[in-house]
Structure 1
C-alpha cells in the first residue's frame, strides 16, 4: 500500500493561465478528450494525457446566445 502512495504524480496545469488545476495524474494515467476546468481563470480546455504529456485540443466553436 505504501508503494502506491510514493508513485510519482504531477499536478495538471491550466494551458491558458498556467495555474494548478484540481487534477493530479500518474505516469500511467491516460485521458482522451477530457474537459479540464481551471478554477482560477474559469476556462475549460479539452486535453489528452499520456505519460505526463498533455496535449490540448481546441473545443468546437460555441454559438452565441
Structure 2
C-alpha cells in the first residue's frame, strides 16, 4: 500500500496543493503556498522535504 501526504508550507504550515507519494523524488521543485503567497524551491525524497536556500539571481550584487 502506498503512503501519501500533503506537502505543508515550510514557512506558514499551511496545506499546499501538492501531494507526495512515498516513492516520489523531487529536485528543485518550485512549491507555491496559496495561504502565504510565497514560492520556494524544495527537494523531496521518501516524504522528507527540505527547502533549498540558494542565492537568487535577482539579489546578487556585482
Query: Same fold per TM (> 0.5)?
Result: yes
The TM-score range, normalised by the shorter chain, is 0.7 to 0.9
Relative to its length, the structure with more helix (as a share) is 1
Change beyond 3 A, Cα 1:18–1:61? farther
Unmatched 5+ stretches in structure 1:
1-5
Provide the aligned length of Structure 1 versus Structure 2.
58
C-alpha RMSD of the superposition: 1.4
Query: Counterpart of 1:52?
Result: 47
- Which runs of structure 1 show a deviation greater than 4 angstroms over 4 or more consecutive aligned residues? none
TM-score (norm 1): 0.81
Q: Say which one has the larger Rg.
A: 1
Alignment partners' CA distance in 2, 1:42 and 1:18: 12
Query: Counterpart of 2:58?
Result: 62
Alignment partners' CA distance in 1, 2:16 and 2:58: 23
Structure 1 residue 25, shift from structure 2 partner: 0.4
